[in-house]
């Protein structure tokens, strides 16, 4: 996994079960682009969260994130950029931001959008079809930044750092915390797969349009 693991320490996870969750996610994540031909597979992919798990995610979103850790996505992005400085250039659309990234308005705007995006799907009770549609659309949006070097594996870097910070949240009940982390891994696996599909789909469509333009000439 190389640079994806940079800055991640399994010791941050307090229980054996939490460490196993970290290891499970670390083994499963692969920087693979999902080709458009697998569209039916994506539509058949399920968000395997029970009503009880969804309620748990909603409760701790409100109690552990909204109230005292609403900067978690900003921390995640800063850590991701540290792991892969190329992200800085991508966000700056080909340039490079040398200012204090903690005060970069563009990055702040992106992080706020991430917070609102996740809040929307979690408060909406993690409707599978809605999450799938939003994630595919988000992947298509990310394809616009491929020209600046954006690659699908950056999502793996982001996911690992997000889970790391989620693992640091103060949740007294250890069993519920482990379940909370497991739910987030399941959710992020689903989101990343759908985003990768949307990304590949958009790039394929753009390539087809370019080919048609060339043929018309």
29-80 tens-digit pLDDT: 444 344 444 555 555 578 999 999 999 999 999 999 999 999 999 999 999 9
Q: Which residues of 206-217 are buried (b: 16+ CB within 10 A; e: fewer)?
A: eeeeeeeeeeee
Q: Which of 215, 190, 177, 95 is closest to 138 using CA atoms?
A: 190
pTM above 0.85, yes or no: no
Q: Are 158 and 91 in contact (CB under 8 A)?
A: no
**Three-class secondary structure of residue 208 per DSSP:** helix
pLDDT over 70 at 11, yes or no: no
pLDDT > 90? residue 208: no
- Give the integer Cα–Cα distance in Å for 154 and 107: 16
Q: Which of 160, 125, 153, 155 is nearest to 49 (CA)?
A: 125
Q: Please report which confidence band the pLDDT of residue 166 belongs to, taking 50, 70 and 90 as the band edges.
A: very high
Return the pLDDT at 94. 59
Q: Which long-range contacts (CB under 8 A, 24 or more apart) does 80-83 make?
A: 80/154, 80/157, 80/158, 80/161, 82/6, 82/7, 83/3, 83/4, 83/6, 83/7, 83/157, 83/161
φ and ψ at residue 167, rounded to 5 degrees: -65, -15
Fold observed for domain 49-216: Globin-like (1.10.490)
| Residue ranges per structural domain of the chain | 49-216
CB neighbour class for 76 (10 Å; exposed up to 12, middle 13-18, buried from 19)? buried
Whether the predicted pLDDT of 180 surpasses 90: yes
């Amino acid at each position: 996994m190389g640079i994806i693991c940079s800055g991640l320490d399994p010791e941050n996870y307090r229980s054996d079960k939490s460490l196993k969750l970290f290891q499970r996610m670390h083994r499963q994540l692969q920087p693979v682009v999902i080709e458009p031909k697998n569209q039916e597979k994506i539509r058949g992919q399920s968000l395997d969260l029970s009503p009880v798990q969804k309620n748990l995610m909603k409760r701790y979103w409100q109690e552990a994130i909204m109230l005292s850790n609403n900067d978690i996505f900003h921390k995640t992005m800063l850590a991701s950029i540290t792991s892969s400085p190329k992200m800085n250039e991508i966000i700056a659309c080909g340039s490079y931001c040398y200012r204090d990234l903690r005060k970069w308005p563009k990055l702040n705007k992106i992080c706020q959008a991430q917070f609102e995006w996740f809040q929307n799907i979690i408060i909406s009770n993690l409707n599978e079809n809605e999450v799938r549609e939003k994630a595919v659309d988000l992947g298509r949006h990310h394809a616009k930044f491929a020209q600046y070097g954006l690659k699908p594996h950056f999502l793996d870097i982001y996911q690992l750092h997000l889970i790391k910070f989620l693992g640091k949240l103060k949740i007294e009940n250890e069993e519920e915390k482990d379940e909370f982390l497991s739910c987030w891994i399941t959710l992020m696996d689903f989101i990343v797969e759908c985003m990768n599909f949307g990304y590949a789909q958009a790039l394929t469509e753009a390539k087809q349009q370019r080919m048609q333009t060339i043929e018309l000439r």
